[in-house]
A and B are shown apart, each in its own frame.
Chain A
Amino acid sequence: MAIRLKMTGRAKRTKRHRSAHDSASRGSPLQRRRARWGGSRGTRSAPRGRRTKTSSLSVLRWRQEGARIGAAWRSEHPHGTKEALRDYAQRQWSVKAQAGAAGIRALDWPAWRSAGLAFARGIRDGSGLAVALMPLALRGRAAAVVSAGSDPDALRSTLEQLSALPLEEIVVVLGEAPEALWFAARQHPNAVVTHVPQTLDPGIGRALGAKLTGEDIVLFADGSMPVPAVALASFLWRCDGGMDAALNDCASRDRLFHQRGEVPWMKEFLNMSLGRPDLKTNSLDALPFALSRTALDAVGASVLAVPPRAHAALLVKGLKVGIGGRTPRTATAEELAAGDHAEAWREAITAKGPRLHYQDKVRNRSVVGGVVHDTGIHPYPVL
């Protein structure tokens, strides 16, 4: 009987490696393919960053810190309002963020989020006030623009969630609206409510709202679909970190290509034709999204009236467009999409020429004085 030696170290590793290769040459075609590629799907949809979990110890510390600050504030202001506490807590959070007290890595949003939520919970425990608070330390100043929709209760919820964030102002845009919607907007103690005496397309409402504010980061929220403050905070965070347009990631919920429908196909093609296949079907028409002041100044607020055109303008101008977060969204109106996308391509072609960034690798145009590659050379001479 042969004595089987226990395999250790390099031998063990080599055996595992060899057996994987071995299975690449035996089994059914599918099994062989799987063994070759090391997984059931060939590619991942998006590279996953390494997520650092905030240790439960530091979360506990933040909660205790919040409780201490909350209790101290309450004893100094026995009749203080929730709004005053919220402003105070946000300021305290900003101070601690700048001091780097937590040792949390600067760019890790999940860690900041858990720490912030723990701090907020502590504030509530310590002060005894049920204040809605999403602590967020931003370097710039932020504002929100809300297209009101038609449901007063949803609008109230949206405004309540926005109140938890450190926003300088909240602009609500209403077209001809019923009284209930006006009151839902006006009752908010911090909202700048704009009423325009005509029926407003939501895109035009957003464009008007964007014109009204001059802050560094503008968050666009949907008044008919309340989103929790913690989800909205992610968009502000990304823009504060340098992104020019932080989009809502809807592509992760997409069905298979042939099942998606025409509008997602056009959106994906727009992204691909402008050199951003990684954005897939994501576009600037999915609320919420956030824009930086750089982006708004570069494309102008009025272009937001036609979301695909605004999206194309951002990509053509080379601004930093990325994903800001993932929240459920309302369905877009399909009727306008085709015309809007045509406008988007028209905008891109005006800027980059009819070939956009695609090169003609088949014909030798330069022999007859034509251009091969349009980028940077425009207008395109007709051959």
Chain B
Amino acid sequence: MTRASILIPSYNRLDLLQACVASIRKHTTDVDYEVIVVDDGSTDGTADWCRREKLALVSLPRNEGFPIACNKGMRLASGDTIVLLNNDTIVSSRWLSNLMTALYSEPSIGIVGPVCNYVSGKQQVHYPYVDLDEFQRIAARVNVSTPKKWRRVERVVGLCLVFRRELMEAIGLLDERFSPGHYEDDDYCLRARLHGFGLLICPDALIHHEGSATFRKDPIAQRQLVERNYQLFLDKWHLDPHVFI
């Protein structure tokens, strides 16, 4: 079985990171993995906590954003399967083994992603839970590997991207022009498809995504950033990324 490198870029939400890592440790017992935290210039003791917890850590000197942080993690990763994971997610039982089953089901599959309650596009599902215990109970029932539920899509959201090392070697790293974030996942998925790789989403891998912690802090700045990056995508590809959602 291949080894997975789980890369978590993190900026100043140590509480979210701790919950995320705890859930990974609890629910990833059936897969050989390493965790690499990329501390994106945090000032709340994230780096110290990671060192105490004996997690592999790349500490950046300042906040560089999602693409640059992920790229550092991707360079350091030694696994055959790479997982980019937001720090505001909570994973559940069999999440990674189900995703990897889908990823390796065919040689042409390059990227897979899970479903969750808070995401844009086809990965959005609606399971009724009010707290994390209920979420874990529901996920334990939902996360049973079922190939016929997998769906071919044209974009997988960057909050949890699982892809092969072979794909990374073929298409390269994330495009840093989209720093600090937004549309780098659309760009990566498009490049993967242009190289002949297929994308799947897996309704048999339900995870929890807290979502929009950054957005709530400064919604106007966030909206401007989204607009700017949308324009960057259009300038690069002369294609509207919304058609792939």
* Docked pose: A208 CA to B54 CA in angstroms: 17
Interface: A211 (CB within 8 A)? yes
List B contacts of A214 (CB < 8 A): 75
Interface: B16 (CB within 8 A)? no
User: Which secondary structure dominates where chain A touches chain B?
Assistant: mixed
List B contacts of A190 (CB < 8 A): 61
The answer to whether B56 touches A196 (Cβ under 8 A) is yes
* Distance of B68 from chain A, by nearest CB (Å): 10
Residues in B73-90 with C-beta less than 8 Å from chain A: 75-76
List B contacts of A197 (CB < 8 A): 51, 54-56
The answer to whether B57 touches A211 (Cβ under 8 A) is no
The answer to whether B76 touches A192 (Cβ under 8 A) is no
The answer to whether B76 touches A195 (Cβ under 8 A) is no
Interface: B59 (CB within 8 A)? yes
Given A182-B51, A186-B47: A192 and B72 interface contact (C-beta under 8 Å): yes
Interface: A21 (CB within 8 A)? no
* Docked pose: A196 CA to B72 CA in angstroms: 14
Q: Output the residue of B50, B55, B61 with the most chain A CB within 10 A.
A: B61
Interface: B225 (CB within 8 A)? no
**Partner among A188, A189, A194 whose Cβ is within 8 Å of the Cβ of B58:** A194
Interface: A193 (CB within 8 A)? yes
* Docked pose: A193 CA to B72 CA in angstroms: 11
A211 and chain B: residue at smallest CB distance? B75
The answer to whether A212 touches B47 (Cβ under 8 A) is no
Interface: B60 (CB within 8 A)? yes
Flag A186-215 by CB within 8 Å of B: 1 or 0 each: 101111111111000000000010011110
* Docked pose: A19 CA to B56 CA in angstroms: 75
The answer to whether B76 touches A194 (Cβ under 8 A) is yes
The answer to whether A192 touches B57 (Cβ under 8 A) is no
Flag B39-74 by CB within 8 Å of A: 1 or 0 each: 000000001001100111111110000000000100
* Distance of A212 from chain B, by nearest CB (Å): 5
* Distance of A256 from chain B, by nearest CB (Å): 45
**Size category, A interface:** 10 to 19
List A contacts of B54 (CB < 8 A): 197
* Distance of A206 from chain B, by nearest CB (Å): 14
* Distance of B174 from chain A, by nearest CB (Å): 13
* Docked pose: A119 CA to B40 CA in angstroms: 36
* Docked pose: A197 CA to B59 CA in angstroms: 14
The answer to whether B75 touches A195 (Cβ under 8 A) is no
The answer to whether B76 touches A208 (Cβ under 8 A) is yes
A197 and chain B: residue at smallest CB distance? B54
**Partner among A182, A186, A189, A212 whose Cβ is within 8 Å of the Cβ of B76:** A212
* Docked pose: A194 CA to B59 CA in angstroms: 6
* Distance of B37 from chain A, by nearest CB (Å): 10
* Docked pose: A212 CA to B58 CA in angstroms: 9
**Partner among B50, B56, B59, B72 whose Cβ is within 8 Å of the Cβ of A186:** B59
List B contacts of A193 (CB < 8 A): 57-59
**Partner among B56, B60, B61, B72 whose Cβ is within 8 Å of the Cβ of A195:** B56
The answer to whether A211 touches B76 (Cβ under 8 A) is yes
The answer to whether B61 touches A191 (Cβ under 8 A) is yes
List A contacts of B58 (CB < 8 A): 192-195, 212
* Docked pose: A191 CA to B72 CA in angstroms: 13
Q: Output the residue of A189, A191, A193 with the most chain B CB within 10 A.
A: A193
The answer to whether B61 touches A194 (Cβ under 8 A) is no
* Docked pose: A196 CA to B73 CA in angstroms: 12
The answer to whether A212 touches B59 (Cβ under 8 A) is no
* Docked pose: A189 CA to B60 CA in angstroms: 9
List A contacts of B51 (CB < 8 A): 182, 195, 197
* Docked pose: A168 CA to B195 CA in angstroms: 31
A208 and chain B: residue at smallest CB distance? B76
* Distance of A82 from chain B, by nearest CB (Å): 16
The answer to whether B60 touches A194 (Cβ under 8 A) is no
A177 and chain B: residue at smallest CB distance? B51
**Partner among A182, A188, A212 whose Cβ is within 8 Å of the Cβ of B72:** A212
Residues in A105-142 with C-beta less than 8 Å from chain B: none
Flag A312-342 by CB within 8 Å of B: 1 or 0 each: 0000000000000000000000000000000
* Docked pose: A186 CA to B41 CA in angstroms: 11
* Distance of B110 from chain A, by nearest CB (Å): 22
List B contacts of A213 (CB < 8 A): 75
The answer to whether A212 touches B75 (Cβ under 8 A) is yes
List B contacts of A208 (CB < 8 A): 76
List B contacts of A182 (CB < 8 A): 51
* Distance of A291 from chain B, by nearest CB (Å): 16
The answer to whether A194 touches B57 (Cβ under 8 A) is yes
Given A208-B76, A212-B76: A189 and B61 interface contact (C-beta under 8 Å): yes
* Distance of B234 from chain A, by nearest CB (Å): 27
List B contacts of A191 (CB < 8 A): 61
* Distance of A228 from chain B, by nearest CB (Å): 23
* Distance of B106 from chain A, by nearest CB (Å): 29
Q: Output the residue of A190, A195, A208 with the most chain B CB within 10 A.
A: A195
List A contacts of B50 (CB < 8 A): 195
List A contacts of B55 (CB < 8 A): 197
* Docked pose: A190 CA to B62 CA in angstroms: 8
The answer to whether A192 touches B56 (Cβ under 8 A) is no
List A contacts of B59 (CB < 8 A): 186, 192-195
5 A/B residue pairs, CB under 8 Å, sorted by A: A189-B61, A191-B61, A193-B57, A195-B59, A197-B51
Task: Name the 6 nearest CB pairs between A and B, nearest first.
Answer: A197-B54, A195-B57, A193-B59, A212-B75, A194-B58, A211-B75
A188-B61, A190-B61, A196-B56 known; 7 other A-B pairs, CB under 8 Å?
Answer: A192-B58, A193-B58, A194-B58, A194-B76, A195-B58, A197-B56, A212-B72
